[in-house]
Chains A and B, each alone.
Chain A
């Protein structure tokens, strides 16, 4: 395939040797996309843009940041006070991490609702889970860099989790610290890795996109495209829709950066790290609260001590997502046509919010009970409910094609759409 003839000589010369223009035309202009994607499909491109924003602001922060226990805190404050627009870089990066997680979590739950993890998109989904894991590691290590009280104690608590591993645990923890406690070597390696991991994420995102373009996007009906009448080219239709979505998102982002820059953070992190003084409460950033609740709720399980069990469940909560394509036994993708799953999906959303709420509080009294029940439900949902509902549920009849469904707006199956799909 050659570059389009109407293109300039230079473009054709280049394209003949390095077919990058052909590639772009193929992946953007000709790439067929379902015509019925809702705004829930905006969150993928938003995640990508957030990744770019994080990398750019991060690189400029790195020019001014000093990774040393004696200077890190003050160097971040110097960025805030003396570097031109340093406060903007720092607030964009700090709130960017939070909004990145908002976007990615919505993206992920979109996938759960519309069955985007099912055949033939299993690897696409699993690559997404890898991205989530890398993001979590990146955000955790980034949070340590400003070397405030919460940075230090979060690093201490999270690295200490690995001591739960039998026999080798303590050795692993000291190896990760590079010493006998969280100290300068720890800060330096976290900085090095915090710089590295985002670029690994870029690599995995590339694979994620290759896998996506192999079969194209899923869609709110969850049925395959059957012919040209079901598709529209990505450009200009979805480029303009993504740009509009980006505009709305940037407004929300800007409100946080310019007017609520510390609303999502913990004031204690404006106190310099002090290894001798434990803060009253050690709480992670909001996006880790559900996992933190799981970690802290789990009691001794048989012969496994609570700490190890907590760590296993913490990691299990994400690892289980890898198996979802096989745990879900329903042949129907979209929850729109799954009368039972459609409701059970929202139970999971509520469950995760309850977990987040428990994660923000000491595991005492009701919070233990609620945390344990919510943890139990989380695993029940994936390991038991997914397969069982798939077997027992009787899906609604699927429309014959995307175009048939979207041109006849009042047809019965589409009218059964839940509130999630209001455009």
Chain B
């Protein structure tokens, strides 16, 4: 009964934010991090970081991440130092009271492409690229949506009036997106030699962004398994105790 009530309310909550009617459903993919035992595929996430770093980072910030966090997808200390050092970070003020540039260090936050919203809009004909730190959690459909969006560019259906600087994208709400198709295939040279097809790149960067949205997911599931085993055993023992204590009442 309670399960039914819970399931009912869960359904209600899921049914809640219904989007526009003419959106095609986002295709479901299979992900390494699906299910109660799923973990992030380190190799895919590292390839995804490469895609972000080479392509998306021109426009999108990831404010909530630090270079040191990359240890979570299997980069070692030296690799992280090298990645950070390849970025220029604004620091300061120094003794002269001036800001200065220095190579990044592992504790630095990911360097943002634009100093502020206005700079971004000025560079991108008025469009504002959202921060990607939480994008997978912040969209209905999560990684499936990001993956589909990156591959969803098409020529607009005949008769559709496109606003200037807008692209047609099947999965974007309203179909007119200000982001030019960021991926075409062969946008990066993967360090591990994987062939950079469009599908591959989209899948990899979506894996990376899923990790970035919740770096503690693996710890969560792992802890959950231990907690659940404990709770099931404890509840079993309590059930036995209840039966025994109540034996003389029934």
Contact = CB atoms under 8 A, between A and B. Distances in A.
B19 A247 contact: no
Contact of B249 (A74, A237, A263): A237
A247 B237 CA distance: 10
Contacts of B238: 240, 243-244, 247
B6 interface: yes
B2 A106 contact: yes
Contact of B16 (A77, A254, A266): A266
B161 interface: no
A158 interface: no
A236 interface: yes
A281 B242 contact: no
Nearest to B142: A267
B220 interface: yes
Contacts of B227: 254, 258
A351 B225 CA distance: 38
Interface stretch (A314-322, A330-338, A356-364): A356-364
Contacts of B249: 35, 232, 237
B12 A254 contact: no
A264 B10 contact: yes
Contacts of B16: 266, 281, 283, 286, 289, 360-361
A108 to B, nearest CB: 13
Nearest to B3: A252
A258 B228 contact: yes
B245 A102 contact: no
B175 interface: no
A259 interface: yes
A88 B13 CA distance: 22
Interface string B8-22: 111011111111000
Interface in B62-116: 63-64, 69
Contacts of A259: 36, 221, 224
A250 interface: yes
A244 B232 CA distance: 11
B60 to A, nearest CB: 14
Interface string B213-250: 11110011101110110011011001101100110010
Contact of B235 (A87, A247, A265, A287): A247
B228 A254 contact: yes
Given A102-B6, A232-B249, A240-B245, A360 B221 contact: no
A80 interface: yes
Interface string A229-259: 0001000110011011001101110110111
Contacts of B173: 280
B10 A356 contact: no
Interface string A194-209: 0000000000000000
A264 to B, nearest CB: 5
A353 B173 CA distance: 29
A215 interface: no
A286 B10 CA distance: 8
A63 B69 CA distance: 23
A106 B215 CA distance: 35
B220 A77 contact: no
Interface stretch (B132-140, B163-171, B188-196): B132-140
A289 B18 CA distance: 15
> Among the interface residues A248, A281, A286, which one has the most CB atoms of the partner chain B within 10 A?
A286
Nearest to B18: A361
B220 A251 contact: no
B58 to A, nearest CB: 22
A297 B235 CA distance: 44
Nearest to B11: A357
Contacts of A87: 214, 216, 219-220
Given A247-B239, A251-B228, 15 more contacts: A35-B249, A81-B69, A87-B214, A87-B220, A236-B245, A240-B245, A244-B242, A250-B235, A252-B6, A254-B227, A264-B13, A266-B16, A280-B173, A287-B9, A360-B15
7 contacts: A80-B214, A260-B10, A261-B220, A264-B13, A281-B16, A353-B12, A360-B12
